[in-house]
Amino acid sequence: MRFDLITIFPEFFAGPLNYGIVRRAQETGLVEANVQDLRAFTKDRHRTVDDRPFGGGEGMVLKPEPLFEAVESLLGFSVGEASKPGVTDSKTAIVLMSAAGKLFRQETARRYAQLERIIFICGRYEGVDERVAKHLATEEISIGDFVLSGGELPAMMIVDAVTRLLPGALGNEASSQNESFSGEAHSHAGRESRDENGVLLDFPHYTRPAEYRGWGVPGVLIGGNHAEVAKWRRAAALEKTRRNRPDLV
Ligand code: SAH
C-alpha cells in the first residue's frame, strides 16, 4: 500500500507516521508513505497556494492549480474532465479531506485496505476550490461531524485505520477481526450474524491487578470457563453498545 499525502505542512506527519503499527508497517515494507509539499507545485515566486474566494466572504481557499499539478505528478499523467473515470484504475483513490465529505467509517477503511494506492489532499483555511472535488478527487471524505483546521489529522487517521487492516500489520492477526465495528466483535460470543444485533462495539477489557482501589474484575473473567467468558463478553458488548451507541443496535 502506498500513501501520498499532499499538504502545506509536510513536517506535520513526522510524528504520527513514526510510531507503533504505522511505523512498523513502513519498516517491513507493507506500507510506503510519501509526504508531498504542496508549495513545491507552485510556479510563482511567492509559492502561492491560496487565494480569496470568488463571491466574497472570509478566509482563503486553496487554489486548484498546485493541487492538480501535485496529483498529476504523482500519477504520472494528466487528468482531464473527460478522462476522469479513467483517472485511476480501481486500485487508486484520490481522497479529498473535507468536513463536507461523505463520512469515513470502518467499512470505508476495509474498502481502502484493498487498494494499492491512496493519494490524500489535505485542505486548509476555508477549504479547497470545488473543482478539486469535482474533477480531481475520486472521493470527498469527512472523518466526523465537526470542523478541524486542516486535513492532515483526518488523512493521518485514515492512514492509521487502513494500515492496521493490512494483513501482517498487527502483531496478532486476529486482533483486527474482533474489535469494534468489525461486524465480528460478537463472534467471540458465538453470535452467528451481524444482522441479528447490528454491529457491536468491543467488549470491555480487564487486566491485572484483579482488584484495584476496591474495584474488582468481573468474576467470570477470572474463573477460566471459556464458554462463560464468551457469554459475558457478548452481553457486555451489547450493553455497552446500547449505552454508548444506541444508533448501532
Ligand atoms: N469551510 C469548511 C471547513 C474548512 S476546514 C467547512 O465549513 O466545511 C479546513 C480543512 O480542514 C478542510 O478543507 C479539510 O481538508 C479539513 N477538515 C476539517 N474538518 C474535517 C473533517 N471533519 N473531516 C475531514 N477533513 C476536515
Specify the pLDDT at position 39: 98
DSSP state, residue 85: G
Per-residue pLDDT of the chain (249 residues; tens, 9 = 90+): 999 999 999 999 999 999 999 999 999 999 999 999 999 999 999 999 999 999 999 999 999 999 999 999 999 999 865 455 555 578 999 999 999 999 999 999 999 999 999 999 999 999 999 999 999 999 999 999 999 999 999 999 999 999 999 999 998 756 777 788 886 544 443 333 354 557 899 999 999 999 999 999 999 999 999 999 999 999 999 999 999 999 998
Query: Cα(105) to centroid of ligand 1, in Å?
Result: 17
Give the residue, out of 147, 152, 153, 157, with the most ligand 1 atoms within 8 A of its beta carbon, to mutate for a pocket test: 147
Type and span of the H or E element at 34 = strand 32-37
Ligand 1 neighbourhood includes 10 CB (under 6 angstroms):
no
Q: Domains of the chain (ranges plus CATH)? A: 2-163 (3.40.1280.10), 185-248 (1.10.1270.20)
Specify the pLDDT at position 88: 57
Atom of ligand 1 at shortest distance to CA of 145?
22
Q: State how far the alpha carbon of 203 is from the alpha carbons of 38, 151, 184, 196, 241, in Å.
A: 42, 31, 11, 17, 9
- For atom 1 of ligand 1, the residue with the nearest CA is 126
Contact 60, 126 (CB under 8 A): yes
Ligand 1 neighbourhood includes 241 CB (under 6 angstroms):
no
Query: Cα(149) to centroid of ligand 1, in Å?
Result: 6
DSSP state, residue 10: G
- For atom 15 of ligand 1, the residue with the nearest CA is 123
Closest CA relative to residue 137, chosen from 189, 182, 194, 74: 74
Buried b (16+ CB within 10 A) or exposed e, 116-126: ebbbbbbbbbe
What are 35's strand-pairing partners? Answer: 5
CA separation for the pair 11, 213 (Å, rounded): 43
CA separation for the pair 95, 109 (Å, rounded): 12
Query: Cα(129) to centroid of ligand 1, in Å?
Result: 12
Predicted TM-score (pTM) of this structure: 0.92
